Structure 1
Amino acid sequence: MINNKDQIIKYFEDGIKDEGNLKVGVEHEKFIFNKKDNKRVDYSSLTKMFYHLYEFGWKPIKENDNVIGLSKEDKNITLEPGNQIELSGAKLSNIHEACSESHEYLFELKQVLEKLNFRIISAGFDPISKLSEIPNNPKQRYEVMTKDMPEGGALSLDMMYRTCGTQLNIDYTSEEDFSKKFRLANYLVPINIALFANSSIIEKKNSNYFSYRSHVWQQTSRGGLPKFFLEKVNFENYAEFVMSMPLLFLQSDGKYISGKKYIFKDFMDGKINEIKNLQPTEAELSTHLGTIFTENRLKKYIELRSMDACGWDCLCSGPAFNTGLLYGNLDEALDVVKTWDVNEVLEAYNNAPKKGLSTPLMGKDLLYWSSVILNISKKGLTNRNILNKKGINEEKFIDHLFRIIENKKTNADHMLYKFSKDENLANLYDQ
């Protein structure tokens, strides 16, 4: 049982990896629509899709006889609250492998979607549907979340039902290495928001944001960018943060119940009558860590969570960009951000969803800083020098980002331009 802070610290220490065994894990979400009526698929339709994916070796994950996801080898497809689906990829050695994994998954998915007359939209926010139009599903925890989350953030339900993101998971070699990587990742949040913005349309209209998804996450319960994340974070003060975080839900007799009256420390101290004063297991600690919705977070690895979902042109570029920095050129990147004022970074974070690459930071704009950081990432990928079978290194995956910098146009700009020409919904779907 987890009953003291040292056990949480030990949990994070157990995540320490050897320098030669650092992995990358990529997760990305997709909206699935019915082609005939441009409406999000319901749970019944999604289970048909899951059934067809069995042909590719995927196996069902069930909760009370309901299929709530699929697994194959070391990866999963998970079911999100509004029937978005997420690939949680395996822990792989490099971006070549991660990108190949995504390519194989999307190939399988598209075969099935064509059979069912479904289509994908790869965007940070649903560009078509109203919140009231989104179908739900029987995954139990979402019922509690739907009820309680809005109390802590006005746009929490939009987050649950109408957003999709891309996530990179990276390892650390020591507590000090974690502190450095986590600090850089949090300083880079405004850049990741602006550079990977891809949610400029909502409800078939201009959202007046480049990343409406990021705006929503800023107004989400348990989310945001805590100021102390931009300072010296170690395992102990992150553990204290975890202990003080309210519980999102609890499990009692196989059912999910609200945990909003309690913080995790109450759980550790055995003070929750509704669950007979039991204390959390390590698995329940892991679940709690996954309900902290900050821009970046710690489990037994670091999760970077500030990028909008996007199509194939940029799906691999976000993970490559951050991998080049965090694994290939960490110290040079830290040298750039060490002079940045914390309050200016937080202001840029608040402004980036709406102002995008024109967001001011330290007397420049995020376009300037994105260019600086991108070149540092490129050197990092060169330093890694991990080649594919054709002798090409991971640098190729950030070509898309250099085009963004050169043209001063993100995916959000392109989406808005294409759709605004004739407001044809077909322009919103993956081609």
Structure 2
Amino acid sequence: MARDQIDTQPIESRDELVAWLEAGCKAPQRFRIGTEHEKFPFTLKGHDPVPYEGANGIRALLDGMQALNGWEPIMEGEAIIGLADTIGGGAISLEPGGQFELSGAPLASIHETCAEVNGHLEQVREVATPLGFGFLGLGMSPKWTLKQTPVMPKGRYRIMADYMPKVGTHGLDMMFRTCTVQVNLDFASEADMVKKLRVGVALQPVATALFANSPFTEGKPNGFLSFRSEIWRDTDNARAGMLPFAFEDGMSFERYVDYALDVPMYFIKRGDSYIDVAGSSFRDLMARKHPALPGEGPTVSDWANHLSTIFPEVRLKRYLEMRGADAGSWKNLCALPALWTGLYYDTTSLDAAWDLAKGWSAEQRQQLRDDVPRLGFDAEIAGRPMLELAREVVAISRAGLERRDMRDSQGRDETRFLKPLEESLALGTTPAERLLERYRGPWGGSVDPVFVEDAY
């Protein structure tokens, strides 16, 4: 989750909320790629969760990272809760259960974003190994119960953790036991945003299948290939899902603002304090009638923070966030931004992707999204098997990356980052199915080997 915004400029009207989103439009030559990924820290001895405090805790990891890279500490009271690269624009933050997140800087190519991921993982390993812990990239914590999972000292998470059980069955699992990799991509205009949002939402289940990597809970198979994706089906349906309105005539920044205004708030931040307003209305704050702040209206920060607490499959801020993928192996962290960059940043590929999806009904899109966590490549839409659809989507992305023709210092284009996906498609199995094969075979019914074989 992103850092909380700090911009105390007051907002007077709904038009200003729309204008704030619209300010994200940029010329295609200024399009950037921002990759975020989360990972589970675990003790090398015992494969246990890593607490925040203590000589060998998460706080010590953040202090060590800060000494190594010189980034600015992000504090909440006395606690260091992240690091900010004030020059490049990247950040390191903590998810509720100690999941360690890199929010990458906005970069021009997948070569750059992958170099950033590689540099980060090498740095993290350098600091964490002497502290006695490693990192695992899976969509779901494979071993620990909720009770065993530590809680990070962040005010917004306390509010969310209190509220989640009131609105769904899986909110605490989502917060404390899942990890994702996502990419943030730009749009040129309102029409470009709408087309990309539609393509992103319709094809998000394809990414879910390609990256499905969460088949274990509390040491046993959970019956799903992406349990992380299944968790989102009943976390808080007022703020998650497939955005059916985005496919209706008249979709616009304004329409998304109206949707966001109806999503209940979690908190309002004033200074360093979080005010718990979970379930309350941003419209009341706009009308200066919010019971927590009588007579007071919202600031730009309030709006930006509220948008960051909405969790649809694709999220609109001043860019679009692709939210459907499980975290995975080192190489898969670069495959996710490559997949969507190839689809979004080449107009021929974007048109081809929309041609694939434009005939589907809202019911068909929803059915696919509901089926994929369990069935992966065996799901179907409009009579088409997911495996066939995924092959076509990856081929469209490859063609887009070829036309983009962004070369690295060795003259290679960005298509090489799709290789892990093409290997999965050639095998016809998801990463989760390959984990289950090892669990049932050489691992002898134990998940512990995952912490050795699949650690970063």
Could you state the TM-score of these two structures normalised by the residue count of structure 2?
0.92
Partner-residue secondary structure (3-state), 1:33: strand
Equivalence map 1:92-171=2 (5 Å): 92-171=107-186
SS at match of 2:289: coil
Tell me the distance in 1 between the aligned counterparts of 2:437 and 2:297: 54
Deviation, 1:362, is: 0.8
1:306 aligned counterpart, secondary structure: coil
Provide the residue aligned with 2:14 in structure 1. 5
- Of 44, 51, 61 in structure 1, the residue corresponding to residue 74 of structure 2 is 61
Cα distance change on mapping 1:261 and 1:155 into 2, 3 Å: closer
Give the Cα–Cα distance (whole angstroms) in 1 for the partners of residues 121 and 272 of structure 2.
Answer: 34
Q: Contact 1:252–1:275 at 8 Å: present in 2 too?
A: no
Q: Secondary structure at the match of 2:325?
A: strand
Equivalent position of 2:243 in the other structure: 226
Name the counterpart of 1:242. Answer: 260
**CA 1:184–1:47 in 2, change beyond 3 Å: closer, same or farther?**
same
Please list every run of 5 or more consecutive structure 1 residues that lacks an aligned counterpart in the other structure: none
Q: Which moved more, 1:150-159 or 1:54-63?
A: 54-63
Q: Distance in 2 between matches of 1:59 and 1:10?
A: 30
d(CA) in 1 for partners of 2:433 and 2:135?
19
Q: Equivalents in 1 of 2:278, 2:81: separation in Å?
A: 24
| Contact 2:219 2:447 (C-alpha < 8 Å) held by counterparts | no
Give me the whole-angstrom Cα distance separating, in 2, the residues matched to 1:368 and 1:171. Answer: 28
* More deviation, 257-266/38-47: 257-266
Cα distance change on mapping 1:9 and 1:424 into 2, 3 Å: closer
Alignment partner for residue 50 of structure 2, among 41, 62, 77? 41
Residues 23-69 of structure 1: per-residue CA shift (max 9 Å, x gap) = 01000000001122211111110011111112232331101121010
Amino acid at match of 2:389: W
- 1:316 aligns with 334
Q: Deviations over 1:216-265 (max 9, x none)?
A: 01111122223223435310100100111111112357432322342111
Indicate whether 1:17 and 2:17 are aligned.
no
Distance across 2 between alignment mates of 1:236 and 1:182? 14
Return the TM-score normalized by structure 1. 0.97
> Equivalent residue of 1:87, what SS?
strand
The answer (yes or no) to whether the contact 1:148–1:258 under 8 Å persists in 2 is no
Shift of 1:178: 0.3
Deviation for aligned residue 1:352: 0.6
- 1:287 maps onto 2:302 in alignment: no
Which residue number corresponds to residue 438 of structure 2?
418
Q: How many residues align?
A: 431
| One-letter amino acid of the counterpart of residue 402, structure 2 | T
Distance 1:396 1:96 in 2: 10
Percent identity, aligned pairs only, is 35
SS at match of 2:449: helix
8 A contact 1:251–1:275 mirrored in 2:
no
Distance 1:55 1:271 in 2: 47
Distance 1:424 1:306, change over 3 A: closer
After TM superposition, give the deviation of residue 173 of structure 1 in Å: 0.4
Q: CA deviation at 1:272?
A: 1.1
How far residue 82 of structure 1 moved from its aligned partner, in angstroms, is: 0.4
Match of 1:207 in 2: 222
Q: In proportion to residue count, which structure has more helix?
A: 1
**Offset at residue 202 of structure 1 (A):** 1.1
* Mapped partners of 2:337, 2:192: distance in 1: 19
* Residue from 396, 399, 405 that aligns with 2:416: 396
Structure 1 residues 99 and 181, CA gap change in structure 2 (3 angstroms) = same
2:447 corresponds to 1:430: no
Instruction: Classify the secondary structure of the residue corresponding to 1:425.
Output: coil
Q: Is the 8 A contact 1:325 1:377 kept in 2?
A: yes
Query: Does residue 256 of structure 1 match 2:285?
Result: no
1:10 partner letter: A
8 Å Cα contact 2:277/2:292 also seen in 1: no
Aligned to 1:347: 367
The equivalent residue for 2:63 is 51
> Are 1:297 and 2:315 an aligned pair?
yes
| SS state at 2:324 partner | strand
Q: Which amino acid aligns with 1:416?
A: L
Question: Does the C-alpha gap of structure 1 residues 377 and 261 become closer, same or farther in structure 2, counting only changes over 3 Å?
Answer: closer
Structure-2 separation of matches of 1:270 and 1:132 = 40
**Cα 1:140–1:340 shift into 2, 3 Å:** same
Task: Tell me the SS of whatever aligns to 2:158.
Answer: helix
Write the deviation string for residues 290-337 of structure 1: whole angstroms up to 9, x where unpaired.
000111111111111111001112111111011100112211111111
Query: Structure 1 residues 231, 190: closer, same or farther in 2, change over 3 A?
Result: farther
Structure 1 letter corresponding to 2:77 = N
The match for 2:40 is 31
Q: What's the CA shift for 1:13? A: 1.3
Secondary structure, aligned partner of 1:409: coil
Cα distance in 1 between the residues matched to 2:128 and 2:270? 38
8 A contact 2:332–2:420 mirrored in 1: yes
How many Å separate the matches in 2 of 1:351 and 1:178? 27
Counterpart position of 1:387: 407
Match of 2:396 among 367, 376, 398: 376
Matched-pair contact (CA < 8 Å) for 1:419–1:425: no
Q: What SS class does the counterpart of residue 188 from structure 1 fall into?
A: helix
CA contact (8 A) 1:418 1:427 kept: no
CA contact 2:343–2:350 (8 Å) conserved in 1? yes
**1:78-136 superposed Cα distances (whole Å, 9 cap, x missing partner):** 01100111100000001111011000000000111211110111000000101111110
